[in-house]
Amino acid sequence: MAEKRILVTGAVGQIGSELTMALRERHGGDSVVAAGRKTKPRPELRDSGPFEFADVTDREVLDGVIKKYDIGTIYHMAAILSAVGEEKPLLCWNVNMNGLHTVLEAAREHSLEKVICPSSIAAFGPETPRDNTPQETVLRPTTMYGVTKVAGELLCDYYVRRFDVDVRGLRYPGIISSETLPGGGTTDYAVAIYYEAIDKGKYTCFVREDTALPMMYMPDCIKATLDLTDADFSKLKHHSDFNVGAFSFTAGELAAEIRKHIPELEVTYEPDSRQKIADSWPRSLDDSAAREEWGWEPGYDLATMTQDMLEKLRKRHAEGKLYQ
């Protein structure tokens, strides 16, 4: 029997776009269907395999895509992030919760092979221990995004237990990447600083210099996602809520690392409403469950990521397409 196809929702987003390309590399372009709601896909995404405009909260639309392409696995990356979620809490609830529920119900009814759905460090809150945050701990977030992530983890685990659906997920830290800009998150400063360092030589950061958050470079994010996909389900004790860490640094330490390559970089700090969100999240994570259950190990540190980011962005800047 031919291998069933993969659907990536949120495929035009920061993680979805690179995940789709990595999956197409692995399985072949035609085997991976990219879906987005309204943003136009970039040519490499559009031309390397099927693309569908689809609203994932609409069950009929989702069913149509699943049948049309004979989908077996869904990577459900469509979500509203933390900062936009605070501006539009009802939209955040609708997209994140109703979207997830629609995907899980479709997975149950169509007996899909796997669903991979991300959670986030936003599942934690101000009462959670902030350093080396344990896997099992207080989950009382204060953002709507965080509320949807905790409820989402519980809903995913419910589908595993009650309906035997194979659902897996990671609590992603802030993800830093060079291909697609993140949209509307609190950790976006850690990406924007690289772009503006190259473009303007200065950056106004929206969190304080001493703000530390767990972060990860995109190649490690893709690796973690694919490694968890490949893990033997019967050996997993956790399912939808794995802590995964790579490194943690303050905004000031990030600026200092970039200054090793761009000494003239000027950074000023003007905290806005996102500071409060950052202050409610962990500074670092204990990811021993991921390491023990499916062998998680990150490859990049702050120095190697910075080297790679600047190389890629400089090349694009020289071609006049830094922001693509």
Q: Which residues are annotated as catalytic?
A: 145
DSSP one-letter code for 204: E
Size of interface with ligand SER, in residues (CB under 6 A) = 11
| 120 near ligand SER, judged by CB under 6 A | yes
User: Which member of 20, 57, 180, 186 binds ligand SER (CB under 6 A)?
Assistant: 186
Q: Report the distance separating Cα 170 and Cα 150, nearest Å.
A: 12
Question: How far apart (Å, rounded) are the C-alpha atoms in residues 284 and 214?
Answer: 5
Name residues whose C-beta falls within 8 Å of residue 219's C-beta, 6 or more positions apart in sequence.
Answer: 299, 300
Q: Kindly tell me which residue out of 185, 214, 245, 298 binds ligand SER, with binding defined by CB under 6 A.
A: 185
Choosing from 172, 247, 294, 296, the residue that interacts with ligand SER (CB under 6 A) is 172
| Binding of residue 82 to ligand SER (CB under 6 A) | yes
Q: Which of 11, 21, 66, 122 binds ligand SER (CB under 6 A)?
A: 122
Contact flag: residue 125 with ligand SER (CB under 6 A):
no
**What is the identity of the amino acid at 33?**
V
Please check whether residue 171 is in contact with residue 119, taking contact to mean a CB–CB distance below 8 angstroms: yes
The answer to whether 243 contacts ligand SER (rule: CB under 6 A) is: no
Assigned token pair, 219: 């190649």
DSSP conformational letter for 10: T
Tell me: does residue 217 bind ligand SER (CB under 6 A): no
Q: Is 128 in the site for ligand SER (CB under 6 A)?
A: no
Residue 176 interacting with ligand SER (CB under 6 A) = no
Per-residue burial over 281-307, b if 16 or more Cβ lie within 10 Å, else e, is bbbbbbbebbbebbebebebebeebbe
**Least distance from C-beta 172 to ligand SER, angstroms?**
6
Residues that bind ligand SER (CB under 6 A): 81-82, 120-122, 145, 172, 174, 185-187
